[in-house]
Amino acid sequence: MALNGGYTYREHLGQRAEGQRLAPYLAAHYPHSTPQEWQARLARGEVTLDQRPSSGAETLRAGQQLVWQRPPWHEEDAPLHFSLLHEDAALVAVSKPSGLPTLPGGGFLEHTLLHLVRADFPGASPLHRLGRGTSGVVLFARTPEAASHLARAWREQQVGKFYLALAQGRPAQDHYDIGAAIGPVPHPRLGEVYAASPNGKPSRSLATVLERREQSSLVEVDIRTGRPHQIRIHLAVIGHPLVGDPLYAPGGLPLAHLPGLPGDGGYWLHAHRLTFRHPVSGEAIELEAMPPPVLSRNA
Looking at 74, 104, 133, the residue that finishes a domain is: 74
The whole-number pLDDT of residue 246 equals: 95
Q: Do 70 and 163 share a structural domain? A: no
pLDDT band at 135 (very low <50, low <70, confident <90, very high): very high
- The CA–CA distances, whole Å, from 100 to 29, 209, 215, 293 equal 28, 27, 28, 18
Q: Which of 247, 244, 102 is nearest to 185 (CA)?
A: 247
Question: Which alpha helices (DSSP H) does 128-211 contain, by range?
Answer: 144-155
Looking at 47, 74, 101, the residue that finishes a domain is: 74
pLDDT tens profile 271-281: 999 999 999 99
Question: Which alpha helices (DSSP H) does 31-184 contain, by range?
Answer: 35-43, 113-120, 144-155
In whole angstroms, give the CA distance from residue 166 to residue 269.
Answer: 7
The whole-number pLDDT of residue 189 equals: 87
- Which DSSP category does 16 fall into? G
Q: Is residue 256 part of a domain?
A: yes
pLDDT at 267 over 80: yes
Helix and strand counts by DSSP (H, E) for the chain? 5, 18
Distance of CA 275 to the CA centre of its chain: 20
Q: Which of 248, 74, 277 is nearest to 156 (CA)?
A: 277
The whole-number pLDDT of residue 200 equals: 97
- CATH code of the domain in which 254 resides: 3.30.2350.10
Q: Is residue 255 part of a domain?
A: yes
pLDDT at 299 over 80: no
CB 52, CB 9: distance < 8 Å: no
pLDDT at 296 over 80: yes
Q: Is residue 113 part of a domain?
A: no
Q: Is residue 29 part of a domain?
A: yes
Arithmetic mean of pLDDT over the chain:
96
In whole angstroms, give the CA distance from residue 93 to residue 244.
Answer: 28
Domain count within the chain: 2
- Which DSSP category does 292 fall into? P
Q: Is residue 263 part of a domain?
A: yes
Q: Is residue 180 part of a domain?
A: yes
pLDDT at 95 over 80: yes
In whole angstroms, give the CA distance from residue 219 to residue 175.
Answer: 9
Q: Is residue 272 part of a domain?
A: no
- The CA–CA distances, whole Å, from 255 to 89, 186, 217, 297 equal 45, 11, 21, 29
Residue that wins the pLDDT comparison between 223 and 1? 223
pLDDT at 218 over 90: yes
In whole angstroms, give the CA distance from residue 284 to residue 291.
Answer: 22
pLDDT over 90, % of the chain: 93
In whole angstroms, give the CA distance from residue 253 to residue 99.
Answer: 23
In whole angstroms, give the CA distance from residue 207 to residue 176.
Answer: 5
pLDDT tens profile 33-86: 999 999 999 999 999 999 999 999 999 999 999 999 999 999 999 999 999 999
pLDDT tens profile 156-208: 999 999 999 999 999 999 999 999 999 999 999 888 999 999 999 999 999 99
Could you list the residue range(s) of the whole structural domain that residue 246 is in?
158-267
Looking at 25, 48, 74, the residue that finishes a domain is: 74
- The dihedral through the CA atoms of 66, 72, 76, 80 has a sign that is positive
Q: Hey, what amino acid is at 141?
A: A
User: Strand, coil or helix: what is 14?
Assistant: coil
Q: Is residue 69 part of a domain?
A: yes
CB 299, CB 188: distance < 8 Å: no
- CATH code of the domain in which 69 resides: 3.10.290.10
Distance, first Cα to last Cα, the chain: 33
Q: Do 257 and 162 share a structural domain? A: yes
pLDDT at 31 over 90: no
CB 146, CB 192: distance < 8 Å: no
